[in-house]
Amino acid sequence: MENAVKLISSLGWPHISFVFGIVFIIVFNKAFRDFIVRIRSVSKQGVSTEAVPGAQNDEKRKQAVQELMGLGDSALILEAEKLIRQDLENRGLGTEGDTIKVLIRHLSVTQIV
């Protein structure tokens, strides 16, 4: 324990800063790489980057869910969806998420047809 305290006290701020910098780079390596790849230009006003690809995918995903859920909201479809959800929950299966909502809607419509 004493040796560790002596070692830490013998290190100056440049050594600790260097170690901190190395740890910081190791921890945030992927984030730095992703940021550098998205850089479009560097000027005196700052850095201009492209949009994060995930943000564009979220927008497209929401639009796709709205299109796929556009089969109508009749009482018969809603009742069929309710029964499908109850059956899934009774079997211990998840009923959350956009994909499951769309699939339940489509299954209820095909069962009615």
CB atoms < 10 A from the CB of 38, how many?
14
At residue 83, the pLDDT reads 92
> Quick one: how far is CA 113 from the chain centroid?
36
36 or 87, greater pLDDT:
87
Domain layout of the chain by residue ranges: 2-50, 54-112
> Quick one: how far is CA 102 from the chain centroid?
20
DSSP 43-79: ETTEEEEPPPHHHHHHHHHHHHHHHHTTT---HHHHH
At residue 75, the pLDDT reads 83
**pLDDT tens-place string over residues 73-91:** 788 888 988 999 999 999 8
